[in-house]
Amino acid sequence: MGSTSCLKNRNICILAHVDHGKTTLADHLIAGSAGGLLHPKQAGRLRFMDYLDEEQRRAITMKSSSISLQYKDYCINLIDSPGHMDFCSEVSTAARLSDGALILVDAVEGVHIQTHAVLRQAWIEKLTPCLVLNKIDRLISELKLSPMEAYNRLLRIVHEVNGIVSAYKSEKYLSDVDSILVGLAGEMGEESQELVEDDEEDTFQPQKGNVAFVCALDGWGFCISEFAEFYASKLGASSVSLQKALWGPRYFNSKTKMIVGKKGIGGGGKARPMFVQFVLEPLWQVYQAALKVDGDKAMLEKVIKSFNLSISSRELQHKDPKVVLQAVMSRWLPLSEAILTMVVKCVPDPISAQSIRISRLLPKREFLDSGVSSDVLEEAEHVRKCVEVCDSSTEAPCMAFVSKMFAVPLKMLPQRGPNGEIVSNSMEDIGGGDSDECFLAFARIFSGVLSCGQKVFVLSALYDPTKTESMQKHVQEAELHSLYLMMGQGLKPVATATAGNVVAIRGLGQYILKSATLSSTRNCWPFSSMVFQLSPTLRVAIEPSDPADMGALMRGLRLLNRADPFVEVTVSSRGEQVLAAAGEVHLERCIKDLKERFAKVSLEVSPPLVSYKETIEEEGSNPLENLKLLSGSTDYVEKTTSNGRCVVRVQVIKLPLALTKVLDESSDLLGDIVEGKSGQRNKSLEAWKENRAAEEENSVAALKKRIIDAIESEIECTSKEFESDRVEKYRSLWFRFLRRIWAFGPRQVGPNILLLPDGNADCYHGKDCILVKGSSPVSEMLGFLNVSDSKTENGNAANELGATRSLYTEAQNLERSVVSGFQLATAAGPLCDEPMWGLAFLVETHIFPAESGPNDSELAIQPEQYGIFTGQVMTVVKEACRAAMLQKKPRLVEAMYFCELNTPTEYLGPMYAVLSRRRARVLKEEMQEGSSLFTVHAYVPVAESFGFADELRRWTSGASSALLVLSHWEALPEDPFFIPKTEEELEEFGDGSSVLPNTARKLIDAVRRRKGLPVEEKVVQHATKQRTLARKV
């Protein structure tokens, strides 16, 4: 393995929607190129890469696994990945270690939602994709399409996939143009120009050789080049010109023996494109000859003789026509030959691939701070260049990326080393104690050479080589115990592995939790983090059936957290062990692994813990009036501290939906901004900016632009209903508020805003007091407010109020208490202690001198009697915020899944019945062209999704399938505290005593009951008179 040239290596992964044939295709590639590891007759039925019992039982892939294939003199590392949305994290791990991707699409079902997801993943990781159109045989045998109809279907799929990739290119190009327009300096211009040139032609073109047409189950497939070479001698044309003509509107004039366009053919009505005439029609003839009872058997003999196929007479005389057909087709157009030839030709070798992917793997970093050592920067740049050229020499620094850790039973480890020596598989390297599971690292070497016994540095994603003192916790030194070449479930020990290879590494179990960078030097940057399409949303609380097994459960959870790249293990505020998974299938597998592999104890699993959010209903249809509520309105909630020295007034409005979504999606970036401020508390904004990397400044400016765009879109909607001067007032009010952002919440990064009180606010009823004005650090960070302006405002505050210096100092000290009260309130709303969503609070806090209170007649009360003053302020702000929200028509917000369903026509009724029971909202339904299947798109609440797939299969006899993807948050329109007030409501519901709880109230009560909060409910539901049962003898 160490001597294999990088130029002869190919690293590919197979990506597709669920059940589109990835593992079946992998079986045929293994049967053709793995040196007898799998018999060709077992290919497609054994599912070699699905070696877990749960995978075989469910017939779906649940993890990414690798195998090394030998094709001619090429070494091809193939990674099979899952297609189910619950295991999308495994797609990310497979894509990071690969250079190219085989994108499979079912020719009957076409492009599905997960196809979009895997294409985006390949685009993000800068992989070179190849398109494989699978299940071509179903067009013939199931749909009974003619060759021309099949060609139009295939053409449409290729156009659709090209359209998806083109949209990603356009999105990147437009974002780069936006970045330039906002005034960001950089090298965007050249990259954008390059993308424009790339976009002139489609990514997938059969004439380029990067599209294959296959039937993975029967083991045959082809690219256009194979037919071009076959027809070149017969038609007297070059194979290159034929390859260009065999796709698209190109026709063959049999009279002139020339290839012409649509206009050059006579009798245009019956003209067939060359792909139909020379490729599809021969395939259709072979299928009809084999499968029809009165088929032309001479056609099969002709194919066998023409291509000199070696097929035994026993196979040809088989009673099952499908066996005969498979024998002929798999030898005429062998699948592994076609796919691997395409891979070698179209997928770049590691040297070429890493030069393309380097901007994604190790983004270039610029430093304006002269305090960084030049030696460190030079060595880091040298490492980056070695990764870029995939330097496989022993002198090159070693760089590898571990995309995930996976558990292997100790008994599955090889008993002999690379040289045949007997090795002892002890547990000392993994720190697993009495566990019989060994953790291996799934890694790709990008530079240098790895060898057994070598010492490397393990770098986390947060490691920064320029800050050696504070980065000790992000770097560890480890020794590699063993290296293995992965062969599906099997492991082949190797002594060394060079750059460009994918290997399994033993000895890193106690150093790596999920992913990390391995390096032979400290002076290098870690590889960029992987991007996951989803986040784990399904949460359950688990506990052992026997409390004595709690220790075993904790050890099992630690092992599971390391073994699964996507699972999250946390402890709730009530002390429960909470397990978060991507979906029901993922959760079931995690629980099964805990019970049988990691913890080996009986478990009690709670019903799913669904997250909600709390918001308010918008007041009326005039947004300008809503904003005016925050400026001089009397519609506020007022509360006073226990000692009477502080009065808090709170007003609240609802933020525009677009702005709420931007803040919700940008929580990570907002977290970086807040941390950057707290870490540089004593420095000015300019000094902070100078010490940040250039790309972070770009992202802050981009976030500012997104916030402004969100508000502008809201203003644009408003401008259609109101005159221009009112719209301008609305715009000026919003931008005034953007200059007064005190904090975001909850946890400093949420979609709620705390606004600074108006500096011109009157004092409390003319009393001698001071207003806690606060500061606007977030507005400064986002660039809505200049630092000099905020300093001027704060510097003159004491003089404006004419208050004593001591009282002013006390007000300054209480600023943190106000913010903390706001954070507590937004983290737990009044309905059911769930986070608030999309609200803006204006908090005015008035502080009185120690000898007086808000009422002159009230006697001075000692503050010590009621505890610390800062704590009282914090509590009052929290209670006031919650009360202000309750006053403004509170609403519950629930998460929604986007659901894509496929069902036959006869089961549409039962499918809609299931959807209606689950409170689903149907978006559209359309019939798939050329089939009896309907595709239905709907939104399903997450709370109603548990058991949805099982119920759907039960009611439709297994004919329907559904795929759920987390989409968005949506407010329930129902008022949880509905009381009849109008004449119509009173006529319908009476006085309200008999009104049943609506959906929102039921959900709120369920959450409150789970959290142990008080619930208003009748103890006796159905009271009846006492009955005395007569005893009859």
Burial of 900 (0-12, 13-18, 19+ CB in 10 A): buried
Q: Which residue in 83, 587, 33, 652 sits closest to 337, CA to CA?
A: 33
Distance between CA atoms of 79 and 64, rounded to whole angstroms?
A: 6
Q: Strand 637-640 and strand 646-654: pairing?
A: antiparallel
Q: What integer is the mean pLDDT of 705-730?
A: 75
| Per-residue confidence (pLDDT) for residue 629, from 0 to 100 | 55
| Per-residue confidence (pLDDT) for residue 509, from 0 to 100 | 85
DSSP 8-state symbol, 994: T
Question: What number of other Cβ atoms are within 10 A of residue 830's Cβ?
Answer: 17
Please give the angle made by the CA atoms of 489, 491 and 492, to the nearest 5 degrees.
145
| Residue 681 scores a pLDDT above 80 | no
DSSP 8-state symbol, 860: P
- At which residue do the structure tokens 């032979």 appear? 520
What is the pLDDT confidence band of residue 1019, given thresholds at 50, 70 and 90? low
Phi, psi of 640 (to 5 degrees): -125, 145
| Residue 693 scores a pLDDT above 70 | no
Distance between CA atoms of 496 and 800, rounded to whole angstroms?
A: 74
Query: DSSP strand E in 689-838: where?
Result: 741-745, 752-755, 770-771
3-state DSSP assignment of residue 852: coil
| Per-residue confidence (pLDDT) for residue 187, from 0 to 100 | 42
Angle between helices 350-361 and 374-388 (to 10 degrees): 140
Which tokens hold the place of 504? 């399994």
| Residue 1018 scores a pLDDT above 70 | no
Distance between CA atoms of 141 and 289, rounded to whole angstroms?
A: 12
Sign of the torsion angle spanned by Cα atoms 503, 504, 509, 513: positive
Q: Bigger pLDDT: 1033 or 743?
A: 743
Residue type, 726: R
Q: Do 498 and 2 form a contact (C-beta atoms < 8 A)?
A: yes
Q: What is the pLDDT of residues 182-221, one digit of tens each?
A: 544 344 433 433 333 344 578 899 988 899 999 998 889 9
| Per-residue confidence (pLDDT) for residue 689, from 0 to 100 | 37
Which tokens hold the place of 138? 């179903």
Q: Do 196 and 189 form a contact (C-beta atoms < 8 A)?
A: no
| Residue 154 scores a pLDDT above 90 | yes
Q: Strand 933-941 and strand 890-904: pairing?
A: antiparallel
Q: Which residue in 608, 565, 510 sits closest to 86, CA to CA?
A: 565
Q: Do 461 and 531 form a contact (C-beta atoms < 8 A)?
A: no
Is omega for the bond preceding 746 within 30 degrees of 0, making it cis?
Answer: yes
| Per-residue confidence (pLDDT) for residue 3, from 0 to 100 | 42
| Per-residue confidence (pLDDT) for residue 708, from 0 to 100 | 83
| Per-residue confidence (pLDDT) for residue 457, from 0 to 100 | 92
Q: What integer is the mean pLDDT of 864-881?
A: 77
Q: Bigger pLDDT: 34 or 657?
A: 657
Q: Which residues pair with 941 in a beta bridge?
A: 896
Q: Strand 128-134 and strand 211-215: pairing?
A: parallel
Q: Bigger pLDDT: 928 or 594?
A: 594
Cα 250 to Cα 152, 243, 286, 328, 402: the distances in Å are 14, 11, 24, 29, 48
Q: What integer is the mean pLDDT of 760-775?
A: 65
Q: Which residues pair with 493 in a beta bridge?
A: 484
The radius of gyration of the chain's CA atoms, rounded to the nearest angstrom, is 34
- At which residue do the structure tokens 């270039």 appear? 364
3-state DSSP assignment of residue 924: strand
Q: What is the pLDDT of residues 500-539, one digit of tens each?
A: 999 999 988 888 888 899 999 988 889 988 888 777 878 8
H or E element at residue 155: helix 147-181
- At which residue do the structure tokens 């990088």 appear? 6
Sign of the torsion angle spanned by Cα atoms 272, 277, 281, 283: negative
Proportion of the chain in helix, strand, coil states, percent, rounded to 5: 40, 20, 40
Q: Which residue in 910, 906, 938 sits closest to 924, CA to CA?
A: 938
| Residue 388 scores a pLDDT above 80 | yes
CA torsion angle for 288, 289, 293, 296 (degrees, to 10)? Answer: 130
What average pLDDT does the chain have?
A: 80
| Residue 684 scores a pLDDT above 80 | no
Name 814's Cβ contacts closer than 8 Å, sequence gap at least 6: 646, 772, 845, 847, 869, 870, 873
* DSSP per-residue codes, 488-542: TTEEEEESEEETT-EEEEES-TTT-SS-EEEES-SSSPPPPPP--S----EEEEE
| Residue 547 scores a pLDDT above 80 | yes
Q: Bigger pLDDT: 308 or 153?
A: 153
Phi, psi of 961 (to 5 degrees): -130, 150
| Per-residue confidence (pLDDT) for residue 430, from 0 to 100 | 44
Rounded to two decimals, the pTM is 0.77
What is the pLDDT confidence band of residue 856, given thresholds at 50, 70 and 90? very low
Question: Which of 89-93, 462-466, 590-594, 685-689 shows the lowest per-residue confidence on average (mean pLDDT)?
Answer: 685-689
- Listed in sequence order, the DSSP H helices in 927-1018 are 948-955, 983-989, 999-1011
Q: What integer is the mean pLDDT of 98-118?
A: 89
Residue type, 426: S
Question: Which of 498-507, 626-635, 668-677, 771-780 shows the lowest per-residue confidence on average (mean pLDDT)?
Answer: 626-635
| Residue 465 scores a pLDDT above 70 | yes
Q: Which residues pair with 872 in a beta bridge?
A: none
| Residue 566 scores a pLDDT above 50 | yes
Q: What integer is the mean pLDDT of 23-28?
A: 90
What is the pLDDT confidence band of residue 172, given thresholds at 50, 70 and 90? low
| Residue 683 scores a pLDDT above 60 | no
Q: Bigger pLDDT: 399 or 702?
A: 399
Candidate ranges 15-19, 156-160, 720-724, 902-906; pick with highest mean pLDDT: 156-160
| Residue 644 scores a pLDDT above 90 | no
Distance between CA atoms of 860 and 209, rounded to whole angstroms?
A: 88
| Per-residue confidence (pLDDT) for residue 796, from 0 to 100 | 45
Which tokens hold the place of 210? 């990067």
Question: Which of 75-89, 450-464, 551-565, 622-636 shows the lowest per-residue confidence on average (mean pLDDT)?
Answer: 622-636
Which tokens hold the place of 495? 């002594």
CA torsion angle for 702, 704, 710, 711 (degrees, to 10)? Answer: -150
Q: What is the pLDDT of residues 935-988, one digit of tens each?
A: 899 999 988 888 888 888 889 887 888 888 888 888 888 888 887 777 787 777
Q: What integer is the mean pLDDT of 535-552?
A: 88
What is the pLDDT confidence band of residue 634, given thresholds at 50, 70 and 90? low
Q: What is the pLDDT of residues 225-284, one digit of tens each?
A: 988 888 887 777 788 888 888 888 888 877 777 788 777 666 556 778 889 988 999 899
Q: Which residue in 636, 638, 648, 650 sits closest to 869, CA to CA?
A: 648
